[in-house]
Amino acid sequence: MAKHVIRPVPLTRNIGVSTYKMTHLVGYGSPHNRGSYVWYIEGPKQKILVDAGSQVSAGGSGSGAGSIMFPEGRMEPIQTLEQGLAKFGLKPEDIDIIIFTHLHEDHVQLAHKYPRARLIVQKAELDFARNPHPIQQFTYKPEMLEGLEFETIEGDKQIVEGVSVMVTPGHSACGESIVVDTVKGKAVIAGLCSVRTNFEPPAELKVPVIPCGILIDPIKCYDSLLKIKKVADIIVPLHDAENLEVDRIP
């Protein structure tokens, strides 16, 4: 059985974002910090990243939606994609595979930087992203997909030994979570924009999970979070600040 390691590559820090933007209807008036990452899966012969990443300028401007959807917070660059990958002796052109959790702009913005990579995504997610509903205009940007050739899959699938995907919709049209075999069991990189509280709500709420703050279907999102909790020995929330200073998982 493969035993891989997940290496967080933080690119952006969001400071002072309202908690309810991540936890549906919970946390009004309570600010928190979050991070945006790509994730390098160390171990397979192929060089694999989860998501393509996004970047903000030194002045805090990104690709557009961040300033609209999170106006109360501040976005700060941590490092460039090239700087982050260099810590593992990699360049964007070395990447063989990118598995997209979903195609919101902050996960696909830098996809053109990887000339050799297979770009793997759920077919239903790609179809929706190319022609999104108007209410999703701040999260999906079809123009970012232009010139990219995706390899589409449908449903749960092994990508390489020890790395597979499972469908987890609700936050997006048809997101997927990445299941990685590690020495401490199955680590799941959640395919929904989430923080730890989504999976570990305050006890007084008496619910096992809280849906994401930005979503298409709250019921599907709730069920997807439960699915992740059932499968995972280690849960990796996609945007929690807890991994900004973490070198490896586990």
Residue 249 lies in a domain: no
Q: How far apart, in whole angstroms, are the C-alpha atoms of residue 148 and residue 129?
A: 13
Residue 124 lies in a domain: yes
Count structural domains, the chain.
Answer: 1
User: How high is the pLDDT of residue 3?
Assistant: 92
User: How high is the pLDDT of residue 72?
Assistant: 64
* Residue span of the structural domain in which 86 resides: 5-243
Cis status of the peptide bond prior to 250, with omega within 30 of 0: yes
Q: Which amino acid belongs to residue 140? A: Y
CATH code: domain of residue 69: 3.60.15.10
Reported as a single tens digit per residue, the pLDDT across 103-141 is: 999 999 999 999 999 999 999 999 999 999 999 988 999
CB atoms within 10 A of CB 182: 20
Query: What number of H helices and E strands is found in the chain?
Result: 6, 12
Residue 128 lies in a domain: yes
User: How high is the pLDDT of residue 62?
Assistant: 47
Q: How far apart, in whole angstroms, are the C-alpha atoms of residue 24 and residue 194?
A: 10
**Would you state the structure tokens that stand for residue 108, as one six-digit string?**
């696909």
User: How high is the pLDDT of residue 61?
Assistant: 44
DSSP per position, 64-112: SHHHHH-TTSEEEE---HHHHHHTTT--GGG--EEE-S---HHHHTTGG
User: How high is the pLDDT of residue 16?
Assistant: 85
CB atoms within 10 A of CB 59: 8
Q: Which helix (H) or strand (E) holds 113?
A: none
Residues of the chain under the 70 pLDDT cut: 57-73
Residue 91 lies in a domain: yes
Residue 248 lies in a domain: no
User: How high is the pLDDT of residue 31?
Assistant: 86
Residue 250 lies in a domain: no
Q: How far apart, in whole angstroms, are the C-alpha atoms of residue 133 and residue 24?
A: 20
